[in-house]
């Protein structure tokens, strides 16, 4: 449950999320999230048919956004596989979300990652929660860790004061090494091209390889090491 520590409810929930292992945490309004620009794009574009018709729980009024730092020294945190939870980082975030849900004295729902399964646009939610801003690399850039974070969300049945957005302009004056690093030149038009990025992701899948001792009790498992060129090239923080 949420203990009476003298702090306000929002601060207590964020503090507990950090205590359970989240590198960053923040609160966004579900109503504001529904009005965020990306949802209009998803609603109108046939490319995102998997999102249409997805219903969120009726009680969902706030969303807690969790971030886990993904340091360059830990590339395996985001290697993708066919084991439950997909990545080590994702499994850590799921564990944090489930522990936090058990602790809360309110209705809470740890969100799936994918939109078509009832998830949310985590980048928009992270910005509204004050974790960071969308950078020139089309990623959330945080003051503490740059774009090197992984995100998950938890719906809450209470109206909490959002913890963001924040005033932060990390790309001002930057010569955008993130865009220069892209192997597919996905920013060649001046803005991000999902189609070009997807070409690289398809190539990454084709290059999947067996890794020893990746899954407990399994000698080898096939993993996909997705491109992080634009993320790792970012000089922030």
Total domains present in the chain: 1
Q: Which domain holds residue 104?
A: 9-172
Pick from 70, 75, 62, 161: nearest CA to 120: 62
pLDDT in tens, the chain (237 residues): 554 444 589 999 999 999 999 999 999 999 999 888 776 665 555 545 545 556 788 889 999 999 999 999 999 999 988 776 678 899 999 999 999 999 998 889 999 888 777 888 899 999 999 999 999 999 999 999 999 999 999 999 999 999 999 999 999 999 999 999 999 999 999 999 989 999 999 999 999 998 887 766 667 888 999 999 999 999 999
| pTM check: above 0.85 | yes
Is position 146 within any domain?
yes
Taking the alpha carbons at both ends of the chain, their separation in whole angstroms is: 35
The answer as to whether 206 is a domain residue is no
CATH number, domain with residue 148 = 3.40.109
Instruction: Report if residue 62 sits inside a domain.
Output: yes
Structure tokens at 90: 């994702």
Instruction: List the 24-29 sheet strands across, edge first.
Output: 24-29, 62-69, 149-156, 108-110
């Amino acid at each position: 449950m949420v203990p009476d520590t003298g702090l306000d409810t929002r601060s207590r929930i964020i503090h507990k999320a950090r205590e359970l292992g989240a590198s960053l945490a923040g609160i966004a309004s579900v109503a504001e999230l529904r009005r965020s620009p990306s949802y209009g794009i998803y609603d109108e574009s046939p490319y995102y048919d998997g999102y249409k018709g997805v219903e969120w729980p009726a009680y969902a009024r706030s969303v807690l956004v969790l971030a886990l730092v993904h340091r360059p020294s830990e590339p395996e945190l985001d290697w993708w596989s066919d084991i439950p939870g997909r990545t080590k980082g994702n499994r850590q975030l799921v564990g944090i979300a489930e522990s936090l849900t058990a602790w809360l004295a309110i209705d809470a729902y740890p969100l799936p990652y994918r939109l078509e399964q009832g998830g949310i646009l985590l980048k928009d939610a992270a910005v509204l929660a004050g974790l960071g801003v969308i950078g020139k690399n089309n990623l959330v850039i945080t003051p503490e860790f740059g774009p090197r974070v992984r995100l998950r969300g938890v719906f809450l049945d209470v109206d909490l004061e959002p913890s963001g957005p924040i005033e932060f302009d990390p790309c001002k004056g930057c010569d955008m090494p993130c865009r220069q690093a892209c192997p597919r030149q996905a920013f060649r038009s001046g803005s991000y091209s999902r189609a070009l990025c997807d070409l690289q992701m398809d190539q990454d899948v084709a290059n999947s390889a067996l890794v020893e001792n990746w899954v407990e009790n399994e000698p080898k498992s096939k993993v996909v090491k997705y491109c992080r060129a634009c993320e790792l090239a970012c000089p922030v923080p």
